[in-house]
Chain A
Amino acid sequence: MKNNLFSWVLLFLSSLVLLFILAPLAGMFINTGSSEFIETVKDKEVQESIWLTLWVSFAATFFFAFAAIPLAWILARKNFPLKGVVQGIIDLPVVLPHTAAGIAVLGFISRDGFLGKMADVMGLSLINNPAGIALAMAFVSVPFLINSARDGFASVPERLEKAALTLGASRSRVFFTISLPLAWRSIMTGFVMMFARGMSEFGAVVIVAYHPMIAPVLIYERFSSFGLKYARPASVLFIIVALAVFILLRLISLKKKEIQISPDAEA
């Protein structure tokens, strides 16, 4: 009887949390009229901002992955002085206020900053440019990829890598044929998390680039200029698109896992 009561209390509290997440979203969907929604779907400005958000976040994730994945492997496998400090630095963007992160990135990419000067030499301005947006997105979201990939590499039994070495494989071959494929699921999860986090970033991006407008900035602009009613359909559309992409990427990463543990080749 006591156990039963405890289960009901757990169920009630859990439902409250779920309701807290779902109710505002559901409210937003219900309060968006179909005609307004269709109009928003056709709105060129909205379409462009969502497309911009998706490809810039994807590009940021893709390009940063080349450096972030090796870093994750080093963190999982190697011990070195100040490793804890390095790990802390990686987590820093997660705890910073995102507007502060935006200010930091802006300082870095403005014409006075290191990267800004380099870009200037090539005749490029990173401010109000998709490249600048990508950097702001990556700054706040890359810890998700690094941490998830690090956990993935750490979960690969080290003796499999050792066995590959004793079988004559070079360190790079061991990385590409053993470590990377076996940590793939965690890396993909991190990739999706970084992509999703970058896509939803507002604070850092709005400081680096108000224009061209990514979807979160566009939603904010519509809200501050025209009010809740006008911001809602764009929000709903962005959520639907983001969810679709999120689910698609998850399915791709799960499919990869199925290949790994496929019962046998005849199947």
Chain B
Amino acid sequence: MLKLDNINKRLGSFALSGVNIDISAGEYYVLLGRSGSGKTQLLELIAGLSIPDSGEIWINNQNVTRKRIQDRRVGLVFQDYAIFPNMTVFGNIAYPLHSRKLRKQDIDLKVRNIAKEMNISNLLDRFTHNLSGGELQRVALARTLVVSPDLLLLDEPMASIDASLRDDIKNTLRQLNRKGLTVIHVTHDYREAVSLADRVGVIHNGHIIQEGPPNEVFSKPVNKFVARYAGIRNFFRVRFRRDGDSWKAFCKGGPVFRISGNSFPEEGLMILKGNDIKISNSEPSAVSDNSFRGIVREINPSEYGMEIMVDAGETFFLDLPVRDFSLLQLKELSPVWITFTKEAPIALPGTGW
């Protein structure tokens, strides 16, 4: 449906380089990256707001690289929605229909139908400056979808709306995608990728560094950047050593991890997801692959409950639901034991000690 073939674009000191993306019809593709990683520039290239220095953009088997924006059948919803403040909601939604010179009755019908679908029929006569973030988002979506684009591009659609409204918007986006609309959704938040994407591409410094289904990308990140995007905070610089039939990873801070795998380089980076670590306030009776004694350094509220920072030679971060946290009666400086299986640590390429 959409094919980006070796796209290169220089923008001042920043450059998108060698970007290849292939998206099938009806796919929900999330492009994940920090601000400044080039994700918005990539959307603008697809929409036709800028032209690549080299490479080709294909939509529905047509080379659109040099085609006018107006002829691409691509809808783009901007991060802050770009709602026209000099028009009513009706005027905004009707804008693309006027550009296509439709008859007044057809415009009226189409605007009312899409407004009903987006649940904003009551806003049609209002000017837009006092609408909420969620309402503006729906107006922007309606304005883009009223001309039935083949491809919907969303630039950080959740960034400017209240957390309470995000689920509503997610549901709307899911429904649109289920009806067959191909979506490219740009975000810096991996949770959006987890909850919406069929496939996720991680972009960093203008390169796509990993691509695949979200569970695959987040369970097997190819490097530290992807791991960070996936919300992982436990990184360890290690040296790998064979120990009989198995392998061990020696952390610089002291702990030695038993790990599973067949071959490792001399040194590298290991990551550990917070929810793979178990914590207890007494020595665990069951034998574990990896068990370390440490003390609680910090306790902070997190969106999952409480985030515990444990010092066990190296610093470990883990999240606990509030109920488990209360049961364990943890305080700062409490002695604790942390355990994890030898399958939990993931080796990444990188510099060791």
By a beta-carbon cutoff of 8 Å, the part of chain A in contact with chain B is: 157, 159-160, 162-170, 173, 177-178, 181-182, 260-266
Q: Which of B20-28, B69-77, B318-326 contacts A (4 or more CB under 8 A)?
A: B69-77
Q: Determine the distance from Cα of A265 to Cα of B147 in the docked complex, in whole angstroms.
A: 25
List the A residue with the shortest CB-CB distance to B86: A181
Residues of A within 8 A of B74 (CB): 166
Pairwise interchain contact B127-A178, C-beta atoms closer than 8 A: no
Q: Determine the distance from Cα of A261 to Cα of B127 in the docked complex, in whole angstroms.
A: 8
Q: Could you tell me which residues of chain B, from 50 to 108, have a CB within 8 Å of some CB in chain A? A: 69-70, 74-76, 78, 80, 82, 84-86, 88, 95-96, 99-100
Pairwise interchain contact A166-B47, C-beta atoms closer than 8 A: yes
Pairwise interchain contact B99-A173, C-beta atoms closer than 8 A: yes
If A168-B99, A178-B84 are given as contacts, then 18 extra A-B residue pairs at C-beta distance below 8 Å, sorted by A number, are A162-B44, A162-B49, A165-B70, A166-B47, A166-B76, A168-B70, A168-B96, A168-B100, A168-B147, A169-B70, A170-B70, A170-B99, A177-B95, A260-B85, A260-B86, A261-B127, A264-B125, A266-B125
One digit per residue, 1 when the CB lies within 8 angstroms of any chain A CB and 0 when it does not, for chain B 95-127 equals 110011000000000000000000000000111
Q: Which of B48, B88, B144 contacts A167 (CB 8 A)?
A: B144
B143 within 8 A of A: yes
Nearest-neighbour CB distance to chain A for B19, whole angstroms, equals: 20
Q: How large is the interface on B (under 10, 10 to 19, 20 to 34, 35 or more residues)?
A: 20 to 34
Q: Which of B84, B100, B129 contacts A261 (CB 8 A)?
A: B129
List the B residue with the shortest CB-CB distance to A162: B49
Pairwise interchain contact B99-A157, C-beta atoms closer than 8 A: no
List the B residue with the shortest CB-CB distance to A180: B86
Q: Determine the distance from Cα of A8 to Cα of B85 in the docked complex, in whole angstroms.
A: 42
Residues of B within 8 A of A265 (CB): 88, 125-127
Residues of A within 8 A of B47 (CB): 166
A/B pair count, beta carbons within 8 Å = 72
Pairwise interchain contact B49-A166, C-beta atoms closer than 8 A: yes
Pairwise interchain contact B70-A182, C-beta atoms closer than 8 A: no
Pairwise interchain contact B75-A166, C-beta atoms closer than 8 A: yes
Pairwise interchain contact A164-B130, C-beta atoms closer than 8 A: no
Q: Determine the distance from Cα of A73 to Cα of B143 in the docked complex, in whole angstroms.
A: 26
Pairwise interchain contact B99-A159, C-beta atoms closer than 8 A: no
Residues of B within 8 A of A163 (CB): 76, 78, 82, 84
Pairwise interchain contact A264-B127, C-beta atoms closer than 8 A: yes
Q: Determine the distance from Cα of A165 to Cα of B49 in the docked complex, in whole angstroms.
A: 8
List the B residue with the shortest CB-CB distance to A181: B86
Pairwise interchain contact A164-B70, C-beta atoms closer than 8 A: no
One digit per residue, 1 when the CB lies within 8 angstroms of any chain A CB and 0 when it does not, for chain B 306-347 equals 000000000000000000000000000000000000000000
Residue pairs across A and B with Cβ atoms less than 8 A apart, 30 shown, are: A157-B82, A159-B80, A160-B82, A160-B84, A162-B49, A162-B82, A163-B76, A163-B84, A164-B84, A164-B95, A165-B48, A166-B74, A167-B143, A169-B96, A169-B99, A170-B99, A173-B99, A177-B84, A178-B84, A260-B85, A261-B85, A262-B127, A263-B127, A263-B130, A264-B125, A264-B126, A265-B88, A265-B125, A265-B127, A266-B126
Residues of B within 8 A of A266 (CB): 125-126
Pairwise interchain contact A167-B85, C-beta atoms closer than 8 A: no
Q: Determine the distance from Cα of A263 to Cα of B126 in the docked complex, in whole angstroms.
A: 8
Nearest-neighbour CB distance to chain B for A158, whole angstroms, equals: 10
Q: Determine the distance from Cα of A266 to Cα of B86 in the docked complex, in whole angstroms.
A: 15
Pairwise interchain contact A264-B130, C-beta atoms closer than 8 A: yes
Residues of A within 8 A of B88 (CB): 265
Q: Could you tell me which residues of chain B, from 138 to 177, have a CB within 8 Å of some CB in chain A? A: 143-144, 147
Residues of A within 8 A of B78 (CB): 159, 162-163
Residues of B within 8 A of A173 (CB): 99
Pairwise interchain contact A167-B95, C-beta atoms closer than 8 A: yes
List the B residue with the shortest CB-CB distance to A266: B125
List the A residue with the shortest CB-CB distance to B99: A168
Nearest-neighbour CB distance to chain B for A47, whole angstroms, equals: 41
List the A residue with the shortest CB-CB distance to B74: A166
Residues of B within 8 A of A264 (CB): 125-127, 130
Nearest-neighbour CB distance to chain B for A160, whole angstroms, equals: 5
List the A residue with the shortest CB-CB distance to B124: A265
List the A residue with the shortest CB-CB distance to B72: A166
Q: Determine the distance from Cα of A181 to Cα of B84 in the docked complex, in whole angstroms.
A: 10
Nearest-neighbour CB distance to chain A for B78, whole angstroms, equals: 5
Residues of A within 8 A of B69 (CB): 165-166
Q: Determine the distance from Cα of A164 to Cα of B74 in the docked complex, in whole angstroms.
A: 13
